[in-house]
Amino acid sequence: MIKPHGSNELKPLFVYDAEKHDALMHEAAGLKSIVISSAAAGNAVQLGGGYYTPLTGFMNKADALATAEKMVMTDGTFFPVPVINVVEDAQGIKAGDRIALKDPNVEGNPVLAVMDVTAVEEFSDADMAMMTEKVYGTTDPEHPGVAAFNSVGKTVISGPIQVLNFSYFMTDFPDTFRTAVEIRNEIAERGWNTVVAFQTRNPMHRAHEELCHMAREALNADGVVIHMLLGKLKKGDIPAPVRDAAIRKMVELYFPPNTAMVTGYGFDMLYAGPREAVLHALFRQNMGATHFIIGRDHAGVGDYYGAFDAQTIFDEVPEGALLIDIFKADHTAYSKKLNRVVMMRDVPDHTKEDFVLLSGTKVREMLGQGIAPPPEFSRPEVAKILMDYYQALDAGK
Please tell me the total count of domains within the chain.
2
Of 167, 194, 212, which marks where a domain is finished? 167
Q: Is the pLDDT of residue 235 over 80?
A: no
Based on the domain organization, do 149 and 258 belong to the same domain? Answer: no
Render pLDDT for 364-394 as a digit per residue (tens, 0 to 9): 888 888 898 999 999 999 999 999 998 887 7
CB 117 within 8 A of CB 43: no
Q: Is 177 helix (H, G, I), strand (E, B) or coil?
A: strand
Based on the domain organization, do 318 and 374 belong to the same domain? Answer: yes
- Catalytic residue (one of 98, 109, 202, 364): 202
Q: Quickly state the pLDDT bin for 240 (edges 50, 70, 90).
A: confident
Based on the domain organization, do 148 and 277 belong to the same domain? Answer: no
- Catalytic residue (one of 98, 190, 201, 248): 201
In a domain, 12, yes or no: no
Of 167, 201, 236, which marks where a domain is finished? 167
Q: Is 184 a catalytic residue?
A: no
CATH code for the domain of 201: 3.40.50.620
Q: Where are the beta strands (DSSP E) in 150-305?
A: 155-163, 195-200, 223-229, 260-265, 291-294
Render pLDDT for 183-224 as a digit per residue (tens, 0 to 9): 999 999 999 999 999 999 888 889 999 999 999 999 999 999
pLDDT at 396: 67
* Phi–psi pair at 226, nearest 5 degrees: -85, 115
Question: What is the distance between the alpha carbons of residues 385 and 243, in angstroms, rounded to a whole number?
Answer: 9
In a domain, 286, yes or no: yes
pTM score, whole prediction? 0.93
Question: Which amino acid is residue 286, in one-letter code?
Answer: N
Q: Which residues contact 385 (CB under 8 A, 6 or more apart)?
A: 203, 242, 245, 246, 249
β-strand partners of 334: 341, 356
Average pLDDT of the chain, as a whole number:
94
